[in-house]
């Protein structure tokens, strides 16, 4: 989708630190980190949200890359959180599917 921020990041039009990627997904640092490690993992194809997804294998691909980055960043042992905000009520602000990977500090529950 030509007007989508994360499509432009996936295509390389907007440069980011490409932490890890595979055929289906790309991981890069969140611009406004909420934890010592805060990485976004996005599909390379445009999908607006989890509610719109057709290919559920993509959800596994995003998580596979998140786990790799968690190991690379050294947060796999201590623990990490993966979050998919879906829709306005959940706080989704960018309507290109993205998995948040957060770690490096203790976190509360339930989320706000």
Catalytic (active-site) positions? 98
Interface size with Zn ion, residues (CB under 5 A): 6
Is the preceding omega at residue 110 within 30 degrees of 0, hence cis? yes
Q: Report which of 36, 25, 31, 33 is spatially closest to residue 99, judged by C-alpha positions.
A: 25
Q: Does residue number 1 form part of the binding site for Zn ion (CB under 5 A)? A: yes
Distance in Å, CB of 53 to Zn ion, minimum: 13
Binding partner of residue 96 among Zn ion, ligand 5GP, none, CB under 5 to 8 Å per kind? Zn ion
Buried b (16+ CB within 10 A) or exposed e, 87-98: eeeeebeebbbb
Distance in Å, CB of 104 to Zn ion, minimum: 28
Kindly identify the residues of this chain, within the stretch 59-88, that bind ligand 5GP according to CB under 6 A.
Answer: 85
Q: Does residue number 4 form part of the binding site for Zn ion (CB under 5 A)? A: yes
Residues 79, 16, 88, CA angle at the centre, nearest 5°? 65
Distance in Å, CB of 61 to ligand 5GP, minimum: 18
Q: Does residue number 92 form part of the binding site for ligand 5GP (CB under 6 A)? A: yes
Distance between CA 15 and CA 80 in Å, rounded? Answer: 26
Answer for the pair 25, 42: CB distance below 8 angstroms, yes or no: yes
Contact residues: ligand 5GP, CB under 6 A: 5, 16, 28-32, 40, 85, 91-94
């Amino acid at each position: 989708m030509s007007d989508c921020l994360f499509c432009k990041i996936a295509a390389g039009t907007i440069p980011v630190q490409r932490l890890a990627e595979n055929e289906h997904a790309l991981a890069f640092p969140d611009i406004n980190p909420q934890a010592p490690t805060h990485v976004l993992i996005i599909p390379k194809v445009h999908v607006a949200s989890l509610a719109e997804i057709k290919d559920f294998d993509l959800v596994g691909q995003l998580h596979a890359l998140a786990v790799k980055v968690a190991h690379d960043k050294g947060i796999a042992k201590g623990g990490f959180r993966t979050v998919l905000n879906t829709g306005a009520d959940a706080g989704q602000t960018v309507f290109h599917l993205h998995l948040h990977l957060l770690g490096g500090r203790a976190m509360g529950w339930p989320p706000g």
